[in-house]
Structure 1
């Protein structure tokens, strides 16, 4: 059976409103990042850690809102969506916020700027998609939120070789193991969401 018409689906999944919220989050990240980096009592661009972590978390919560709608009749057709349709949903849900936030933090992109925010957005999007398959979809936002707060509190001042693995969210944007963690989360989440859809 074919998927339902795009327009009712888009409105049922709150896609237009989500696009506006993503734009608002990007503007807020730009303003907050610029303000933090310019304060004389903060250590320059490295003060943008809350923005590089908080912006992607908000994007993940917004993505979770698009994974299920409030219309039971429409939602009953969701398992019949083709894998290609779900793949497009997953990739756009991860890449559009990542691009918007990257543009917001282009200044000093390697120091908790564009690179870090792209990595964090893609990783948390993957974690949200993975959660939507494994737990009830209305709780898909919860694992990303718990992981973000736990990592931010535990790894803020930690150092050592292993931090790039478990503290990947609070690493600068350089190429290290943190990118591997984000890549695995995105790949696993998108793959399972594409194959199985969401858990109800």
Structure 2
């Protein structure tokens, strides 16, 4: 298990977990203090999940791009496992709220949004690199939480605002699933783009 601990440290996973936990806790406290509802609304939950996902987005690349593409390591399996563990970690952090008076629920919505946003982030990491992988999830989330977008029977609206659609909305679930699967496959098989050596060389 030593390689696993080294992998987590090299990807700054402990810092990402701490940041995500702080974000989830802060949103929970604000909801507990300023609202009387026992369920944290979909817009707040979506923004919280997006910020937690962005924190984990920084872990999708290491300090050495060449090492992340070496043939001596089964990187596709490791990358896929990394994403699945990130999904489990964020979902677990959010699920802890079910023990309190302000909750991120239903679970289906939490899982859908976490998987979809992580897939979108992973797709960004595969295309433009982990450092810029936050752009797509941030942009789509800000669009989805716009006041005039909400539960709708229009499929186009359901796709555009899939994050805030009720759990069980077919178009929203399909959109999240496509993003999750596409991002997983793209990141697992390709990893991130190789950066110039000058960008990855240690400072002196």
Assess same fold via TM > 0.5.
Answer: yes
| Alignment map for 1:160-175 (pairs within 5 Å) | 160-162=153-155, 163-175=157-169
Structure 1 unmatched runs, 5+ = 39-43
Deviation at 1:147, TM superposition (A): 0.9
Q: Does 1:67 align with 2:60?
A: yes
Aligned counterpart for 1:191 among listed residues 169, 175, 185: 185
- Which string of whole-angstrom CA distances, capped at 9 and with x for unpartnered residues, describes residues 78-118 of structure 1? 11341211111011112210222133257697x96433222
Q: 1:55 to 1:21 in 2, by over 3 A?
A: same
Cα pair distance change 1:174/1:33, threshold 3 Å? farther
| Corresponding residue for residue 79 of structure 1 | 69
Give the drift of 1:154.
6.3
CA 1:165/1:126 → structure 2, altered by over 3 Å: closer, same or farther? same
Q: 1:122 maps to which residue?
A: 115
For the aligned residue pairs, the C-alpha RMSD in angstroms reads: 2.7
Q: Which moved more, 1:96-105 or 1:50-59?
A: 96-105
Is structure 2 residue 140 aligned with structure 1 residue 147? yes
Tell me which residue corresponds to 2:51: 58
1:148 to partner: Cα distance: 0.8
Q: Partners in 1 of 2:8 and 2:81 — Cα distance?
A: 13
Q: Report the Cα offset of residue 56 of structure 1.
A: 1.0
CA contact (8 A) 1:37 1:48 kept: no
If the length of structure 1 is used for normalisation, what is the TM-score?
0.80
Alpha carbons of 1:183 and 1:36: their partners in 2 closer, same or farther (altered >3 Å)? farther
Q: Secondary structure at the match of 2:60?
A: coil
Taking a change above 3 Å as real, the CA distance of residues 46 and 96 of structure 1, as seen in their structure-2 partners, is closer
Q: TM-score, normalised by structure 2?
A: 0.79
CA distance in 1: counterparts of 2:169 and 2:7, whole angstroms:
38
Q: Distance in 1 between matches of 2:113 and 2:11?
A: 24
Residue 125 of structure 1: how far off its partner (Å): 0.3
Q: Is the 8 A contact 1:151 1:170 kept in 2?
A: yes
Q: After the TM superposition, which parts of structure 1 deviate over 4 Å for at least 4 consecutive aligned residues?
A: 105-109
Report the CA distance shift for 1:156/1:37 in structure 2 as closer, same or farther (over 3 A).
farther
Conserved in 2, the CA contact under 8 Å of 1:102 and 1:113?
no
State the distance in 2 between where 1:105 and 1:161 align: 32
The one of 84, 93, 114 equivalent to 2:86 is 93
